[in-house]
């Protein structure tokens, strides 16, 4: 190997190392801490690799707070809002890409703009709306806003996939006696499955991660979702870090597995808005 090739190789390795350390370090840090004992944590100077790995923190994380309920609540809220988002945005994307709608771009732009309004400035009136409807401390109080939160990006992702499907296929199906709606469900959606899937992952992660609305609308401890539930482990002054780390690992592992398996799709979906524009 000549010098130039070696130099290139070193640079590439170094680049990879920086990006990987930057991305993985915090996750590794909490993984290691979750395996430490309280005693080791309080040692000074701090240790990095746990000397005496233990799983006791995971056990305690589930017994000290209803972590299994937080997990269940997150799954229910994120799961239902994902399903609704995907259906609603599939219908909208179909109308905007496959039907001859007047002023398509304007409608699309308005959708984006309305849905990009900061939910944070809407917490005050939304709180009032939810209270009037008696929806506080129900899953629906989060499912509805989360659906809107993901609508724009999901519509955009699915629209870009629908555009690539040949209209001839639908036309053929309609000649064979399918209605348009049947054609949508039997021809277009199955062909756009990767897009539907990408949209679903994005919607799921958005809902799984949201904090402010979950903090505001679900105040009963047994209704808390993970993002809020994990902040409950801290006392007024005490921070049981090993316990919090164990709970954090439980909370992020499902999403990590999801994005690790489908990383190419996720990246494609995330950048659909950016690159197309």
The answer to whether 64 and 47 are in contact (CB under 8 A) is no
Minimum Å gap between C-beta 55 and another protein is: 20
Minimum Å gap between C-beta 158 and another protein is: 12
Minimum Å gap between C-beta 241 and another protein is: 6
Minimum Å gap between C-beta 217 and another protein is: 10
The backbone torsions φ and ψ at residue 59, rounded to the nearest 5 degrees and listed phi first, read: -60, -45
Pick between residue 60 and residue 86 the one whose CB is nearest to another protein: 86
Q: How far apart are CA 38 and CA 19, in angstroms?
A: 31
Q: CB under 8 Å to 38, separation ≥6 — which residues?
A: 240, 242
Pick between residue 77 and residue 244 the one whose CB is nearest to another protein: 244
Minimum Å gap between C-beta 135 and another protein is: 11
Q: What is the DSSP letter of 210?
A: -
Pick between residue 68 and residue 180 the one whose CB is nearest to another protein: 180
The answer to whether 266 and 202 are in contact (CB under 8 A) is yes
Which structure tokens are listed for 142? 């989060």
Minimum Å gap between C-beta 66 and another protein is: 19
Other Cβ atoms less than 10 A from the Cβ of 64: the count is: 14
Residue 12's Cβ-count burial label (10 Å; 0-12, 13-18, 19+) is exposed
Pick between residue 96 and residue 200 the one whose CB is nearest to another protein: 96
Pick between residue 4 and residue 260 the one whose CB is nearest to another protein: 260
The answer to whether 215 and 26 are in contact (CB under 8 A) is no
Q: How far apart are CA 151 and CA 153, in angstroms?
A: 6
């Amino acid at each position: 190997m000549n010098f130039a090739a070696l130099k290139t190789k070193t640079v590439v390795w170094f680049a990879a190392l920086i990006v990987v350390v930057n991305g993985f370090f915090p996750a590794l840090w909490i993984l290691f801490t979750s395996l430490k004992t309280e005693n080791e944590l309080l040692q000074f100077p701090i240790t990095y690799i746990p000397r005496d790995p233990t799983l006791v923190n995971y056990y305690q994380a589930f017994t000290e707070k209803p972590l299994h309920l937080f997990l269940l609540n997150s799954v229910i809220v994120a799961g239902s809002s994902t399903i609704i988002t995907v259906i609603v945005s599939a219908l909208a994307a179909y109308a905007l890409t496959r039907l001859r709608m007047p002023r398509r771009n304007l409608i699309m732009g308005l959708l984006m703009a309305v849905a990009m309004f900061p939910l944070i400035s809407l917490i005050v009136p939304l709180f009032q709306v939810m209270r009037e409807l008696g929806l506080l401390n129900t899953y629906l109080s989060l499912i509805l806003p989360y659906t809107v939160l993901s609508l724009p990006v999901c519509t955009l992702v699915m629209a870009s996939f629908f555009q690539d499907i040949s209209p001839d296929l639908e036309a053929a199906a309609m000649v064979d006696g399918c209605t348009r709606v049947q054609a949508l469900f039997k021809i277009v959606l199955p062909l756009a499955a990767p897009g539907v899937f990408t949209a679903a992952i994005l919607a799921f992660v958005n809902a799984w991660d949201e904090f402010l609305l979950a903090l505001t609308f679900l105040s009963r401890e047994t209704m808390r979702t993970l993002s809020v539930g994990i902040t409950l482990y801290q006392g007024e002054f005490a921070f049981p870090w090993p316990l919090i780390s164990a709970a954090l690992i439980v909370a992020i592992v499902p999403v990590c597995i999801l994005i690790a398996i489908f990383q190419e799709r996720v990246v494609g979906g995330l950048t659909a808005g950016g690159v197309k524009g």
